[in-house]
Structure 1
Amino acid sequence: MAGYLVFVVFMTVLSKARGEDLAAPTLSVKPEIITESGSVTLHCQTPVPVSRCLYSFKKAPFKTMLCRQTINGSELLSLLNINIPAEINVACSYLNATASPLSEKKVISVRDPGPPTVSVHPSVIPEFSSVTLYCQPPLYVSVSSCSFYTLSGLEWARSSCTRTLRGSDLLKNDQSAPAEVQVKCYYTEQNEEMSPSSHSDKAIVAVKVLAPPTLTLDLSVITEMERVILHCRPPSYVSASLCNFYTVSASDEKHLEATGCVQNLTGSDLFLGNESPPIEVQIQCLYTVNQKTSPHSDKRTIMVTATKITSTTSPPSTSTLFYPETNTGTQAHVTGSETAAHDSDNLTATNSLIKTLVILLPAGGVAVGCVLLVVTFFCTKQRNAIFSVAEIQPDVQQEEKLTEARSCHFADNIFKQRC
């Protein structure tokens, strides 16, 4: 062996003297971090086919092995006569008439396995809901199994490193919710079944009873045809999708259809029987999780009133126009706004007759147009005289004005126009 090493040294010096004709190999190590019981694969990739390779470890002679060689951590520690933790430098070369240059160095870390990390999700659960436990070993450790246990004395040994349990499974016979359960874990490496790892820190699972939900309403007063949104909210640590709603009275209870934890109902849907509005309705809700029913929520009250009826009839007019009577002693009263309205009517009538005059002049001649103009002027003047007074006295002049007004009305009928 000593002669072989001398030969290798000689060939290496000779290769350098020749200008390093051979190309250096490439070395890879996987994984780069191992435990004492773990293994690492060394792969010396040569540019030419060779059967064996030479490995150089720091502070150790060359070691001839396969160019693809698997070696465990304890062998490396024994070869170098060191203890963990250790950082080991390694390089490789090959022989092809002469010794090749060394590859680039790689580092192999041999570490203590170290404790795992335990975690729980969710950390707060009802007694009949589930929690998942995770035992996470270091990434460089090859694990065969994990074990979980509680500080109260329960254990689930040699199982998967992920385990799902119910809240009640974490409680011993003498425990009941609410309770805080402390959980730890450890793992076992492959090929080290009798040497479990150190234990993790603790994680806490809070196991709670099913608390009542909170009931909220978007409206507190509705008609029997209006809608209200009911929302049954379980506690934040509860994942529930099924809720039940109830309308209650002193002597009766009505179960509303369960279609989730949000309901959109009309006022009439809330009636217990044949009631009629106005009526006060009290509502409660509860939720179900894992076939377990929660306590009822507090009661909320909704006032259901009769459907509102909106009138579309316009209010009667408060303005009244009194026309003069024919009897002696009768008074006529015309308000200022009514007089203005009549003045407007007179102006409209005059304009209309003037337009008629313009049309008739070419067709009927000047004589007819003049007659119409005189009648229009006479009627307008008399109508204005009638509505411009606030009080009409029973005398001869009043009778004459009334006669003239009747004549104007007669003219209106003849020419189909208002004076």
Structure 2
Amino acid sequence: MYQAQALLPPTLTVNPPVITETDSVTLHCQTPPSVSVSQCYFYTLSGGIVRGFPCLKTLTGTELLLKMSQQSSPAEVQVKCYYTVKHGGSNSPHSDPSSITVHTPPPTLTVNPPVITESDSVTLHCQTPPSVSVSQCYFYTLSGGTRGFSCLKTLTGTELLQMSQQRSPVDVQVKCFYIVMFKGSNSLSPHSDLSSITVHTLRPPTLTVNPPVITETDSVTLHCQTPPSVSMLHCYFYTLTGLIVRGFSCLKTLTGTELLLMSQQRSPAEVQVKCFYTVTFGGSTSPHSDLSSITVHTLRPPTLTVNPPVITETDSVTLHCQTPPSVSMLHCYFYTLTGLIVRGFSCLKTLTGTELLKMSQQRSPVEVQVKCLYTVKHGGSTSPSPHSDPSSINIYNTVEKESSTTQSIAPSKDSTGLTVISPYPFPPVTPAKQTSGWTVVMSKNTGSSSSSSPTPVKAASAEIWKFVAVVAGCGVAVGVILLVSVLLCNNKRTAGPDEVKRQDTKVEYSDTYHMYCTIPEEPAASDLMMGQMYSTVQSH
């Protein structure tokens, strides 16, 4: 008892005296220097004893609340300590109490979006710990103004500028905190970290790219379209992987190679591009445009040939999608402008007219427009080439083509007499100039019908009898001579019905030549009246 009274009490220090649940506090139980201390003990007025071997103990706010004081934040924790000596194990008097205030964790402030115009809106979210019952959140800017709202608040750019007492364009720095009940009164939480919101007066530009798919040697036009009311100074184009390019006008043309250099990429590649502009007064920078993509191919388009270009439904056409020799192609694809894609494992594809019509969903007669492309393997993906120029294939109905190629042997009648046709395949003979009389001519036929073969024989016979009637008035002698001549000519030059029928079968496969035997009309009445005699047979 005497030894216990003789010991001096320790001095307890806490550092820092105010913490959050995640912060740490150091407890130091300082004993007299003349005492040989065996052990130090720390305890809270509301909780249990914590044994610490050294007299210097570090605890987190959570450990202090849960393990020692059995409290929840926010709380003020009262702590004391004492020590025991080595010889005899006597306990020292207890130290005076020290207070440690444990606050709730600070909130997390998020802003979305971080860049707005005065007419746009931004959402402020002061996220509090789930274990805390919050009555209200407060948002404030570093330049002035504190507003109490719900913990999820939406403000326009104009309202934010009024709250911060600033003017656009500007960066507004925002923080938040919340209030909880502690000891019957409101207790403020620690403040959140800083969040920035950029408020522009400018509208973002619109970026268009044309065309969106090019090769390295092709060109693409980038157009950074600014609001019409803006007096812009410069436009800037940049890729997400490369450098900024300054353009004095907002219309910039680049080749695929230049675009790849700018983006530090290699083809084939998809280049992501954005733009923004600066204004003349103040040099303010606009918000950035939305993203635009440009695909840069190394592939050249194939060349499509079709052979033959004119077919019937039963004929075949060969489609040849000729790829560049340096390309290791994967597949070729042929398609019509009106139909479906056909996959061909080789780039040489043969189709019938019927198959081509099905593929194009058309009917003959028609002109089918065909294109092709090829694919190559690049890394783990397949890249398509640019498409070929269109090629045309004319498809005719089979019946139409046969009718157009069938040879004709229809008769023709001269105004001065009768035409008799014989389809013998003789070489053409150029006739002498006809005056009047009976002319024998062989000429090549280019007609289109073969259905009138027997007609010349019947017509010739009728004209022979007509001729006999005319000759009778001029005398028997002349008539006999002329009749014999006509009969001989008719027998030699005119084929019978069987022969004509047999020769008709050859008309479709060979050139047809016609032999004409023409008998003139009767001599003029004035000539007959004069009693003149005419020989009307002229050989050619």
Task: Report the TM-score when normalising by structure 2.
Answer: 0.28
Judging by fraction of residues, say which structure has more strand: 2
Judging by fraction of residues, say which structure has more helix: 1
Q: Which has the higher contact order (CA 8 A, sep 6+)?
A: 1
Task: Report the TM-score when normalising by structure 1.
Answer: 0.35
